[in-house]
Amino acid sequence: METLADHGVIAFDDTFNPAWPEVTVGVADFLRKSGGAFSAFCMTKYKTYVCRHEFHEFYTELIADSADLAAFDHVETEFLGSKVARLHNPISRRMVYELMIRSGMSAFSERVYR
């Protein structure tokens, strides 16, 4: 926490992963012990992104307005008192992407994915 830039982001990996439940507990403990200094602003399947509280609205709006993230389903949820954007990647899109990569069409795969 002491070395993180004011605008910095902490990305916690394996949160909500059933194989590593203690990670989610650790993230929750970190946020509770920070006394409101940090809050989650985004979650994906197994990642939780946290920033200093004063940058929460900035990052939340950035995610909502990002053209690169438009392909993902955006669901607003709450985590420990903070509004969080949960980004979900539909399995059908992921399957097409993987098939294109494995078929040697990686040059086009990013366009399909987005």
Percent of the chain clearing pLDDT 70 (strictly above): 87
Alpha-carbon distance of 8 to 16, in angstroms, equals 22
The confidence band for 70, taking pLDDT boundaries of 50, 70 and 90, is confident
pLDDT of the residue at 2: 84
Cβ atoms 50, 9 nearer than 8 A: yes
pLDDT of the residue at 24: 94
Instruction: Please give the average per-residue pLDDT across 23-51, as a whole number.
Output: 95
For residue 93, pLDDT beyond 80: no
Mean pLDDT of the chain: 87
pLDDT of the residue at 108: 59
More confident residue, 12 or 88: 12
For residue 85, pLDDT beyond 80: yes
Residue 56, CA distances (Å) to 3, 22, 28, 40 in order: 18, 25, 17, 8
Q: State pTM to two decimals.
A: 0.79
pLDDT of the residue at 14: 93
